[in-house]
Amino acid sequence: MIKAVFFDFYGTLAGWEPAAGEIQRQAAEAEGLTVAPDAIERAYAAANALLDRENAVRRVGSRTPRERDAFFAEYERTLLATAGYEASLGLSAAIWARVRSAPKELALYPDALPTLAALNEAGLTLGVVSNMGTDLPDQLARLGLSRFAVLSVSSGEVGVAKPHPEVFRTALRKAGVDASEALHVGDGYESDVMGASHAGLNTLFLLRDLWVAPPEGCVTVRALTDVPGAIRDGTW
């Protein structure tokens, strides 16, 4: 029986406003490269998989500024290449610097609050498990999530990042439940699905991109509003 539901934050409950693809388009255009926002959005899965692999080795947020800049230049180059645009490492670094400094703020997806409200009404313990820094509780409060998400775990707090199992074990300890009683929902296959699975949790893969087929054997939802029904049906 599921007693606690944990959610990833960025890409699951909230995203950038303006949208990440539009931020990328503006940054690339400023450096002389014309890109299509839709192509960039579809390429994020590959770039984020690179980020997950790096976090599994050593948390990117704990690296020196120089090391982080070097990684995100490669991240940007991977993103562009997957979208069909060849860019040198230097150009990728320049675009990433513009992306990082672009005016933007995190905003909730429309299905976030209704889903959390429904699960809260069902009596489930809710939490947010994220690779963000220690400012995660402030972000949750600003967006109105803290009234539903009674616990939060960030990689900045734990000292390691998803997919490391200790991130999920920390959430389990805070919720006071066993792994078999917890469900983790996230949009990252390696960081969320594989990370939580390796810690013994049940998982749902949030795949908003309708043009992308789900990985074989992976239980998938296309919107957060599908989560309460999946819990009722036990479909994982």
The CATH code of domain 19-103 reads: 1.10.150
Q: Which amino acid belongs to residue 161?
A: A
Could you tell me the fold of the domain covering 4-14+106-233? Rossmann fold (3.40.50)
- Inform me whether the pLDDT recorded for 236 exceeds 80: no
Q: What is the pTM of this model?
A: 0.92
Q: How confident is residue 230, by pLDDT bands cut at 50, 70 and 90?
A: very high
User: What gap in Å lies between CA 223 and CA 236, rounded to an integer?
Assistant: 15
What is the token pair recorded at 89?
């490492």
- Per-residue model confidence as pLDDT tens digits over 35-81: 999 999 999 999 999 999 999 999 999 999 999 999 999 999 999 99
What pLDDT score was predicted for residue 209? 82
- Per-residue model confidence as pLDDT tens digits over 118-158: 999 999 999 999 999 889 999 999 999 999 988 999 999 99
Where are the chain's structural domains? 4-14+106-233, 19-103
Q: How confident is residue 212, by pLDDT bands cut at 50, 70 and 90?
A: confident
- Per-residue model confidence as pLDDT tens digits over 199-209: 999 999 999 98
Q: Please provide the DSSP assignment of the chain as one string.
A: ---EEEE-SBTTTEEEES-HHHHHHHHHHHTT----HHHHHHHHHHHHHHHHHHHHHS-GGGS-HHHHHHHHHHHHHHHHHHHT----HHHHHHHHHHHHHS--EEEE-TTHHHHHHHHHHTT-EEEEEESS-TTHHHHHHHTT-TTT--EEEEHHHHSS-TTSHHHHHHHHHHHT--GGGEEEEES-IIIIIIHHHHTT-EEEEE---TTSPPPTT--EESSGGGHHHHHHHT--
